[in-house]
């Protein structure tokens, strides 16, 4: 007996396939088109136009006194746009406090049943809304996948280091066994500035 798969549209695509295609198609930039020169049959080709540069005499250099550049004080200098640091592993004591629930786990999200891209979108929205509400630690359940190689679990670290979450996530680590073990992560959030 064949298992019934997800519904497909007239092109044979599942909703997940359509979502991926929309994402890929949205990242493509169309090339600029140029208008072709209009050629009328039987018309003569125009003669070549030769352009000769006109030499202008250079003005004489004026003698100005030299200026000395003075750097502004440090507090007046604009701060360079430094990239935000990537999240780090949690320190062992913080992980221990989370596993013993001395530091509260303020929210949880379970990504079971989502495709890779949908799970990424759900996670990004969840973490940014938790940070906006002032939460400091959350639990993200990814699942282990078959034979420990789940798609969401393997992409989790990449998502945490993405530029979109660098201003949100301060650190993450694998959760304690009672909170999901290898199929879950503690994520600590930065304070909103």
How many Cβ atoms are within 10 Å of 24's Cβ, its own excluded?
A: 9
Token pair of 187 as six digits: 């994520």
38 vs 166, higher pLDDT:
166
Token pair of 175 as six digits: 């959760």
Interval 79-119: pLDDT, tens: 556 556 656 676 777 778 888 878 888 899 998 888 888 98
Among 20-29, 117-126, 138-147, the minimum mean pLDDT is found in 20-29
Phi and psi dihedrals of 157, rounded to 5?
-65, -40
| CB-facing half-sphere around the CA of 83: CA atoms within 13 A | 9
Confirm whether pTM is higher than 0.75: no
DSSP for 123-141? HHHHHHHHHHTT--EEEEE
Interval 52-65: pLDDT, tens: 555 656 655 555 55
């Amino acid at each position: 007996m064949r298992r019934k798969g997800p519904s497909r549209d007239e092109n044979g695509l599942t909703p997940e396939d359509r979502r991926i295609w929309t994402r890929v198609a949205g990242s493509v930039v169309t090339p600029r088109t140029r208008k072709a020169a209009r050629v009328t049959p039987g018309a003569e080709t125009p003669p070549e136009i030769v352009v000769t540069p006109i030499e202008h005499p250079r003005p004489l250099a004026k003698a100005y006194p030299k200026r000395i550049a003075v750097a502004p004080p440090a507090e007046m200098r604009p701060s360079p746009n430094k990239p935000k640091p990537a999240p780090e592993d949690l320190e062992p004591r913080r992980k221990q406090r989370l596993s013993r629930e001395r530091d509260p786990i303020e929210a949880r999200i379970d990504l079971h049943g989502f495709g890779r891209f949908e799970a990424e979108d759900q996670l990004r929205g969840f973490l940014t809304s938790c940070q906006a509400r002032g939460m400091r630690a959350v639990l993200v359940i990814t699942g282990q996948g078959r034979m420990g190689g789940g798609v969401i679990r393997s992409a989790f670290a990449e998502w945490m280091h993405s530029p979109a979450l660098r201003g949100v996530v301060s650190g993450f680590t694998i959760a304690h066994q009672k909170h999901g073990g290898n199929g879950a992560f503690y994520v600590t959030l930065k304070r909103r500035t």
